[in-house]
Structure 1
Amino acid sequence: MIKIVFFDIDGTLLNKQSRLEKSTEIALAKAKEKGILCGIATGRGPSTIGHLLEEYALDFAACYNGQYIYTRSGEVILSKPLDKKTLHSLAEFADEHSREITFGAADKIVGSSLLRVGNTSFVRMISPFLPRKLSGTLKTGYQNVVRKHKKANYQENPVLREPIYQVVMVSPEKEQARIEAYFPTCTITRSNPYSIDIIPRGSSKFKGIEAVCEYYGISLDETMAFGDSWNDIEMIQGVAYGVAMGNAVKELKEVADFVTTSNDRDGIARAFQQFCLIEDEEEINEVMQELCIEDISSEMKYLTQKMPKSKDEKFNKVREFHQTFDKEVLQKPKAYDPQQASFRSGFKVEEIVEFLYATSNNDQVLFEELVENLKSDVEKAKEKVLAKNEPTEDVLTDQADALIDLLYFTYGSFVLMGVDPDKLFSIVHEANMGKIWADGEAHYDPITHKILKPENWEERFAPEKKIKEELARQRENSV
C-alpha cells in the first residue's frame, strides 16, 4: 500500500508553464483525502518552493537534493550543509577558473546572477530543446562576460559564513569526471546538461526520502516517486514504485517501474489512477486530455524489473503475460464489473467445452450430450445460488472466493488424473510469451483484434507436442 509520494518539481509536478495541471491538483487532493502524504523532492531551495507547499497543502519538501528537509509547518527534519573547507575550495575554484556558481542557503540563493536567471521558469522550459553542446559555449560565454567585469570573488561572499547546502556550477557533461576528481568529498549530480549540483558526498534525493520516511514512520515498501531527469535516477530506483514522466530522459525511463504521460498531458493523474491511489472518477476524467496514439505507443509503458512479486511463481508468470499484452495490471485488489466478469467467465467456459470435447474422443453424439449436461449444470447451479438467498456483502471477497475454489477444483482434477501440472504450465506460458514479435511488441489482427503469431511460432512454441511429451515422461516415470 502506498502511503507517501515524492515529486520532482520542474518537468514533473509543474507543466511547461510552471503550473500544476488541473488533473494534478485534483489527484493530489483526492490522495490526501485518503491519508496519503504528498511532498517535494527537488534540487531547488526553500526560497523558490514555499508557495507550492502552501497553495497545494503539500506535507513536506526535501530541498537541495535531500540536504534540507522541512514540513509545511516549518519543522526542519534534516539539515546537512557542506563542510566549510569544501565550501571554500569550491569558491576558490570558481574564482580561479572564472566559473559561475551559486550558494544555496536555507532562506536564499546567492551568487551568479546568470545562474539564477538560468533557474527561471522560462529557461527551464526551453532548456530541453537546446543542444547539449551549447553547455560548453555557455561556459565560455560566462567566462568572457566575467573577464569584462570585476571578478566575482566568491571567497569573500558573506553568505559563506552561513550553512550552505548546495552549490550550483556551470559545467558541461564532458568535464563532470574531472570536477568529481577535483572534489572527492562531494556528490555531483545534474538536472540539465549545462550545470551541476554539488552536495556532500553520499547524499542524494533518495537519502532525503529515507530521512522523510524515518520521520513519518513509513517503510520504503510504501513509497512512490515521480521524476524526469538524471538527478532522479537513484530516487526512482530506490522507492517501491518509481514513475518516469513521458518527457523524462531516456536513462530514467529505463530504470522506472512505470512510464506515464508527460507533465503537460496529465502524467501524474494517470499514474495515480493506474496504481489505484485515486478512483476513476468523473471529476478528474472531465479535465484530463484524451490519450493520443503517441501517448499509448511511446509513453505509457510498464517496465517489469521491479514489479512487486508474489510468492506464487505461477501468478508472477501470468502477471508477466498481462503486463506484456495488456499494459495495465492493478496493484490494488479491485472487483470485476459485470462486463469484465462475463468476459473472463467466457474464457473459462470455452476451456471447459474443449475439455468435454477431448473427453468425447471424437464421438460427436457424446460431445453434444456432454455439452447439454453442462448447460443443465449451469441452470442447477443458478437455482442453487438463488435458493440460498444470501445477499452479496462484498463483491471482491465473493468473486475471489469463487475463483480460488475454481483454482482448487482445477488442481483437484489434475490430482485425480495423476498429472503433475507444473511443467505443463511452463509450456503454456512459454507459448503465450512466444507471441511477442522481434520488435518486443504484440501484433494484432486489424479486423478481429486477435493476437497474431510470429512466423516461426508453431515450430518453436506450439504447446500440444510438448505437453504430449511431458505426459509420456510422467507415465514412464510412474511405472
Structure 2
Amino acid sequence: MSKYKLVALDMDGTLLNEQSEISAENAEWIRKALDAGVIVSFSTGRGFQSALPFAEQLGLDTPMITVNGSEIWHKPHVLYKRTHLSSVYVKRMHELALKHGEPWFWAYTTDTVYNKEKWIDPAAGYDSYHWLKFGYYTEDDVARNEILAEVQSWGALEITNSSPWNLEMNPQGVSKASALRDLCELLDIDMSSVVAVGDSLNDIAAIREAGLGVAMGNAQQAVKDAANAVTLTNDEHGVAEVIKRYVLKG
C-alpha cells in the first residue's frame, strides 16, 4: 500500500501536454494509482466545466479542486465548498484592466467565464453575479508589474499565476493549498499523505504543504525551488513518472 493516499494534479502544464491532451502514459499510470486505492484529484485553475471533460476521459469519480481552490467538489457534480470573490474587487480589477488597455482579462463566475471580448451586461451590474476568480494576461512586463503592484497594495486578494505572463486573483486565503486542507479533512487523511504536482505559482502553496511536493520539469523556477522533487516535463509524461517513482514505487 502506498504511503501516499491522494495525488493532487494541476492540469495545464502538468497533467496536460502542450496540445492540452492527456497522454496515454499519464492515463495508464493514473489508472494504476486508482487501482491501488490512491485517490487522484485535479487541482486546477480551470473552472469546473473546463476540467470536467478530462475527468470523464479518465473515468474519475474522485474529488476536484477548481478555480485555484475557490471550488471544491466531493466528486464531479457534487459541490462540497465554494468561496466567492467580492464584486467590489472584481469591479476594481476590471477598471484597472481598462486603464491599462492592452492586457487580456477574464473572470470566472459560478456559471461561466467573462473576458475582454464578452463582459457583463450591463457593465455596472457586478452584484448580480457570483464571482470566483479574476485574471490578467500580458507579455508586457511593465504593465503586468504595475497591475501586480496596484492589486497587492489593496491587501485583500490571493495573487498567483498559471503562466509567467498572467496574474490570477482569488479571495484572500483561498488557494489550492487551502482547498487541499479542506479536502483532507473531508476524506479524513493527513496532508503528509498528499502528493501535489504543478508548474506555476498557483501550485506553490500546495507543493509546500503536501507530504511530497513535485514540480514539473517545465515549471517556473520558483516552483522548482519550493518542491521536494522535480519530475519530467508535461510533454515527457511527468505525471506518469511521479506516480511510478514516488506513489507506486516497489
Check if 1:69 corresponds to 2:69.
Answer: no
- TM-score w.r.t. structure 2 length? 0.87
Q: 1:250 to 1:193 in 2, by over 3 A?
A: closer
- CA distance in structure 2 between the aligned counterparts of 1:176 and 1:184, rounded to whole angstroms: 13
- TM-score w.r.t. structure 1 length? 0.47
SS at match of 1:165: strand
Deviation at 1:38, TM superposition (A): 0.7
Q: 1:249 to 1:8 in 2, by over 3 A?
A: same
- CA distance in structure 2 between the aligned counterparts of 1:104 and 1:190, rounded to whole angstroms: 15
Higher helix share: 1
Q: 1:62 to 1:73 in 2, by over 3 A?
A: closer
Tell me if the contact between 2:48 and 2:66 (Cα under 8 Å) persists in the aligned partners.
yes
| Deviation beyond 4 Å, 4+ runs, structure 1 | 152-155, 157-160
Which residue pairs with 1:215 in the alignment?
Answer: 186
Long gaps (5+) in structure 2: none
Which residue pairs with 1:24 in the alignment?
Answer: 26
Check if 1:254 corresponds to 2:225.
Answer: yes
Which residue pairs with 1:278 in the alignment?
Answer: 248
Which residue pairs with 1:183 in the alignment?
Answer: 154
Deviation at 1:8, TM superposition (A): 0.6
Identity of aligned residues (%): 26
Give 1:278's aligned amino acid. L
- CA distance in structure 2 between the aligned counterparts of 1:179 and 1:40, rounded to whole angstroms: 31
Long gaps (5+) in structure 1: 117-151, 280-333, 335-479
Which residue pairs with 2:163 in the alignment?
Answer: 192
Which residue pairs with 1:106 in the alignment?
Answer: 110
What RMSD, in angstroms, separates the aligned Cα atoms of the two structures?
2.2
After superposition, residues 316-331 of structure 1 pair within 5 angstroms as none
Which residue pairs with 1:38 in the alignment?
Answer: 40
Specify which structure has the bigger relative contact order, considering alpha-carbon pairs within 8 angstroms and separated by 6 or more residues.
2
After superposition, residues 284-363 of structure 1 pair within 5 angstroms as none
Tell me if the contact between 2:8 and 2:196 (Cα under 8 Å) persists in the aligned partners.
yes
- CA distance in structure 2 between the aligned counterparts of 1:154 and 1:201, rounded to whole angstroms: 27
Rg larger in structure: 1
- CA distance in structure 2 between the aligned counterparts of 1:72 and 1:109, rounded to whole angstroms: 22
- CA distance in structure 2 between the aligned counterparts of 1:219 and 1:46, rounded to whole angstroms: 25
- CA distance in structure 2 between the aligned counterparts of 1:17 and 1:91, rounded to whole angstroms: 30
Which residue pairs with 2:83 in the alignment?
Answer: 80
Q: 1:191 to 1:214 in 2, by over 3 A?
A: same
- CA distance in structure 2 between the aligned counterparts of 1:157 and 1:74, rounded to whole angstroms: 31
1:196-240 CA distance string (max 9 Å, x none): 111111221111111111111111011001111222111111100
Tell me if the contact between 2:71 and 2:81 (Cα under 8 Å) persists in the aligned partners.
yes
1:263-320 CA distance string (max 9 Å, x none): 1112122221211x336xxxxxxxxxxxxxxxxxxxxxxxxxxxxxxxxxxxxxxxxx
- CA distance in structure 1 between the aligned counterparts of 2:126 and 2:23, rounded to whole angstroms: 36
After superposition, residues 78-477 of structure 1 pair within 5 angstroms as 78-98=81-101, 100-113=104-117, 156=123, 160-170=127-137, 172=141, 173-275=144-246, 277-278=247-248
Aligned length: 242
Check if 1:54 corresponds to 2:56.
Answer: yes
Deviation at 1:111, TM superposition (A): 2.0
- CA distance in structure 1 between the aligned counterparts of 2:53 and 2:133, rounded to whole angstroms: 21
Tell me if the contact between 1:88 and 1:155 (Cα under 8 Å) persists in the aligned partners.
no
- CA distance in structure 2 between the aligned counterparts of 1:159 and 1:56, rounded to whole angstroms: 36
Deviation at 1:157, TM superposition (A): 6.0
- CA distance in structure 1 between the aligned counterparts of 2:165 and 2:173, rounded to whole angstroms: 22
SS at match of 2:131: coil
Deviation at 1:67, TM superposition (A): 0.5
Deviation at 1:36, TM superposition (A): 0.9
SS at match of 2:28: helix
- CA distance in structure 2 between the aligned counterparts of 1:262 and 1:50, rounded to whole angstroms: 23
Give 1:4's aligned amino acid. L
Deviation at 1:159, TM superposition (A): 6.5
Tell me if the contact between 2:52 and 2:76 (Cα under 8 Å) persists in the aligned partners.
no
